[in-house]
Structure 1
C-alpha cells in the first residue's frame, strides 16, 4: 500500500504501475477514451483527475484505492491542490 499525501503522488504511482505492466500511454489512453496527450497531462498533473476517471484508471491497472486513518507519524499535507 502506498500512502498518498498529495495529488502528485497519485500520478507517480499510476505511471510506475503502467510502465511495470508494459502498457503504453497510447494504449491506456484509448481504453480510457482520451487522447494520449491528455493522459500524459493527467499523469503529471493528477490534481484534475475526477474520482470516476481515477477509478476507471485504477481498474485498468489492477489497482485498489483505500482510505484509512492517518498514523500519528505521518506528515499532514497542508497545501490544498484540489
Structure 2
C-alpha cells in the first residue's frame, strides 16, 4: 500500500513540476524582447529552455510530430492557399 502511495506522490510531483515549468516558459514567451533583456533572458533562451523541458519530460517525440505537422501545414498554405 505504501509503495502505491509513493508512486502516486512521485507522479503527482513530476506532473506538477513539468506543468509549473511549462507555465513559466509560457509566461516568458509572452514578454517583449526588452522585458527579457532587462531580466537577463532572450527569446532564444526561452525557446531552448522549453525545448529542453519537453525533451527531458519525455515529450520529445510529440514535439517532433507537432513540428512536422506544422511544417507540412505551412508548406500546404504556401503552395495552395
- Same fold flag (TM > 0.5): no
| Higher share of residues assigned helix | 2
Q: TM-score, normalised by structure 1?
A: 0.30
Higher relative contact order (CA 8 A, sep 6+): 1
Q: TM-score, normalised by structure 2?
A: 0.31
